[in-house]
Amino acid sequence: MPIRDVSFHPESARLSFLNASAQTAHRSSHLQIHPDDCELLKAHSASDHASVELRLATQGLASFILVLRKNTGNARWASGLLANIREPRHLIEAVSAKSRLADLGERTSAIVHEIRQPLFTIAMANENLRLMLDTPGALKSRMQKSVARIADQVARAQNIVQRTLSYVSTNGAESQFTDLPLTLANTVEFLDSFFESDSIQVRLDIPHETAMVALEQLEVEQLFVNVLRNAADSIRKRRQAGWEGEGEIAISAKIRDDQVLCEVADNGAGLLRREASRCFERFYTTRKESGTGLGLYICEQFVAKAGGKIELSPREVGGARIEIRLPLIAGSDIVASEPD
Ligand SMILES: Nc1ncnc2c1ncn2[C@@H]1O[C@H](COP(=O)(O)OP(=O)(O)OP(=O)(O)O)[C@@H](O)[C@H]1O
Ligand SMILES: [Mg+2]
């Protein structure tokens, strides 16, 4: 609050002033300064301008900032400011609590988004297992595959929660390299049941060579799960509009110079070119009832982290295509990054 006609009386440790704010103009006030801070204020008796942090006698904590301007002699000043510094601290705490909440909210939304896929795969594997248990002569090896898939996806879900909460995957401290073609093939395999339930044919064309990229395995999985789920969603949307054709998703990865180029093309409902540029925005979705609009936002973050690019565009033949370019990590980099 702005103050004027300020005076300090060392003998009584009293600070007197007029309140200069509009509402309470000219009301005179007195504050009893904490004895330990009197000397500090006394030292400024002759200062033309001063800024002092002090405590009041009635409160134990340093809680005021006193700004003094224009010394008129004898520890008197024409004007000044008195601010309770506990207020800004409160404000800072409130703001930081809010931003912590917003941050937590974003992480939670990401977890909710990403965890759906392992839950779905677990539910499908569990259902397969149940059917097999009811089928006399069902192959033990097939049951074991379902059990292994459940265990795998539980671990994946736990990992997603842990990584998303701690943001380990995005702070770069623990960066890892992953063989993209191998992880892509595994991702398509664990999404089998998902495609099957949607009657979608998947074509996979990937190199046999190793192609290492600067992402963790979980991130590569999340990237393709999101892209493939979008493709399936779009095919479902086209069907809902009455289309009865065969749903198809073509996935390819090619090594070109120092990059790996991945493409996922679907024959779903497609999109307009002007919509495509907005799809990577956080919370942008055209699936109002069921989408959160986080899938491609998360994908773009992973791709950017690995130094790559991701683009979505309509296909001339209908449907959409997503292109992902990721720089390859050279063999020497991988060796160099391994612990001794
Ligand atoms: N293969 C695709 N074909 C057509 N439109 C797509 C395709 N992929 C993404 N889009 C568009 O991009 C939007 C954003 O995708 P994103 O994955 O970020 O969110 P979402 O799929 O809507 O919701 P969520 O991923 O949370 O389920 C989609 O709503 C859709 O309009
Ligand atoms: Mg999506």
Collapsing DSSP to helix, strand or coil, 287 comes out as: coil
- Span 98-116, average pLDDT: 79
Residue 326's pLDDT is 97
Q: What is the CA radius of gyration of the chain?
A: 32
Residue 91's pLDDT is 60
Percent of the chain with pLDDT over 90: 45
Give the residue with greater pLDDT, 81 vs 208. Answer: 208
> Is pLDDT at 254 greater than 90 in this prediction?
yes
Residue 340's pLDDT is 41
- Cβ of 292 closer than 6 Å to ligand 1, yes or no, is yes
Looking at CATH, the fold of the domain delimited by 175-337 is given as Heat Shock Protein 90 (3.30.565)
- Span 201-222, average pLDDT: 94
Residue 97's pLDDT is 66
Give the residue with greater pLDDT, 17 vs 89. Answer: 17
Residue 170's pLDDT is 44
Using CA atoms, how far apart are residues 215 and 175, in angstroms rounded to an integer? 7
Domain boundaries, the chain: 2-84, 88-166, 175-337
pLDDT in tens, 72-82: 888 999 888 87
pLDDT in tens, 80-90: 887 776 555 56
Lowest mean pLDDT among 111-115, 169-173, 230-234: 169-173
304 Cα to the center of ligand 1, angstroms: 18
161 Cα to the center of ligand 1, angstroms: 22
Looking at CATH, the fold of the domain delimited by 88-166 is given as Helix Hairpins (1.10.287)
- Cβ of 230 closer than 6 Å to ligand 1, yes or no, is yes
Residue 89's pLDDT is 55
206 Cα to the center of ligand 2, angstroms: 23
Residue 339's pLDDT is 44
97 Cβ contact partners less than 8 Å away, ≥ 6 residues apart? none
Confidence of residue 4 (pLDDT cuts 50, 70, 90): confident
232 Cα to the center of ligand 2, angstroms: 10
> Is pLDDT at 99 greater than 70 in this prediction?
no
Atom nearest to 293 CA in ligand 1 = 19
Q: Which of 113, 198, 275, 296 for mutating ligand 1's site (highest number of atoms within 8 Å of CB)?
A: 296
pLDDT in tens, 155-183: 999 988 887 776 544 444 455 899 999 99
CA distances in angstroms from 317 to 81, 263, 335, listed in the order given: 70, 15, 44
CA distances in angstroms from 181 to 205, 272, 296, listed in the order given: 9, 30, 20
- Span 126-151, average pLDDT: 89
Alpha carbon distance, N-terminus to C-terminus of the chain: 62
